[in-house]
Amino acid sequence: MSHHIVEFKDVFFRYPDGTEALKGVNFRITHGESVGVVGANGAGKSTLLQHMNGYLMPTSGKVIIGDLAITGKTRREIRKKVGIVFQNPDDQLFMPTVFDDVAFGPLNLGMDEATVRERVRKALGMVNSLDLQDKPPHHLSCGQKSAVAIASVMAMEPDILAMDEPGANLDPRSRRSLIMLLKTFKHSKIIASHDLDLILDVCERCIVIGGGAVVADGPSAEILSNKGFLEENNLELPLSFQVRS
């Protein structure tokens, strides 16, 4: 299907305070691909993600989702297609109970009550959190929160899933179950993370951002094993490639 495509065409972005965050970003992600976005702090990963559903608009260049370029008019349409999972689940889970939170998206799409309930059930089931639905988010553990955050996005049944640091703040076990979960998704996935092992596990392709532009784009296994290149970009080898000295 052609509409699960994400394409950045020569995207520039400058913040109102003058910071140049993106300086000509180009890439194209096709249907069903799973892509990791890595880069040092301040390289522009989050800014990049915020372009994917039109929260930020390019100063120049184009972002195309499916066959629509993001504009002020198409933004709403595009937000249905691209689900973004945020770094901090506390920002993402803004409703007072898990159920209300997962139902927020479907309700905004104007679905009727039965469909909404079905969507919520399905999304929570996907992340094994059905029993949490009446709880308030502040009674959940970090792992549970991030699972519910994913469910709240999945309930909208997006074509493309974008995630910002999904593994951050998770204990090893929750992180492992998150990785298993991500592997089961058939969506196009874009994952921005410092957790290079997670990227290596989940994504076959990897884009390295440095100084607001794409500095490398290729198979994860190849890029993430190139020690010299990674260190140049303030990154390091994934732990699984490191030999203990």
Closest approach, Cβ 105 to another protein, in A, equals 4
> Which one, 138 or 244, has the nearer CB to another protein?
138
Q: How many residues bind another protein (CB under 8 A)?
A: 37
Sequence-distant (≥ 6) Cβ neighbours of residue 167 within 8 angstroms: 175, 178, 179, 193, 195, 198
Q: In this chain, which of 34, 92, 174, 220 binds another protein, going by CB under 8 A?
A: 92
Q: In what order do the strands lie in the sheet with 160-164?
A: 82-85, 160-164, 188-192, 34-38, 205-210, 213-219
Q: Establish if 84 lies at the interface with another protein (CB under 8 A).
A: yes
Strand partners, 208: 38, 216
Which residues, 184 to 203, sit near another protein by CB under 8 A? none
Residue 24 and residue 213 in contact, taking contact as beta carbons nearer than 8 Å: yes
Kindly indicate which of the ranges 66-74, 91-99, 206-214, 224-232 contains the residues binding another protein, using the contact rule CB under 8 A.
91-99
Q: In this chain, which of 86, 150, 199, 209 binds another protein, going by CB under 8 A?
A: 86
Which residues, 112 to 171, sit near another protein by CB under 8 A? 113, 116-117, 134-139, 152-153, 156
Count of beta carbons in the 10 Å neighbourhood of residue 224: 27
Sequence-distant (≥ 6) Cβ neighbours of residue 48 within 8 angstroms: 8, 22, 25, 37, 192, 209
Residue with tokens 């009446």: 134
Identity of the residue numbered 49: L
Closest approach, Cβ 131 to another protein, in A, equals 13
Q: In this chain, which of 41, 72, 91, 245 binds another protein, going by CB under 8 A?
A: 91
> Which one, 153 or 235, has the nearer CB to another protein?
153
Q: In this chain, which of 59, 60, 71, 108 binds another protein, going by CB under 8 A?
A: 108
Hey, what are 144's tokens?
A: 């549970």
Q: In this chain, which of 80, 121, 122, 176 binds another protein, going by CB under 8 A?
A: 80
Q: What are phi and psi of 56, to 5 degrees?
A: -110, 145
Which residues, 26 to 65, sit near another protein by CB under 8 A? 50, 53, 55
SS3 206: strand
Kindly indicate which of the ranges 97-105, 174-182, 218-226, 233-241 contains the residues binding another protein, using the contact rule CB under 8 A.
97-105
Q: In what order do the strands lie in the sheet with 6-14?
A: 20-29, 6-14, 60-65, 68-69
Residues that bind another protein (CB under 8 A): 50, 53, 55, 76, 79-80, 83-84, 86, 88, 90-97, 100, 103-105, 107-109, 113, 116-117, 134-139, 152-153, 156
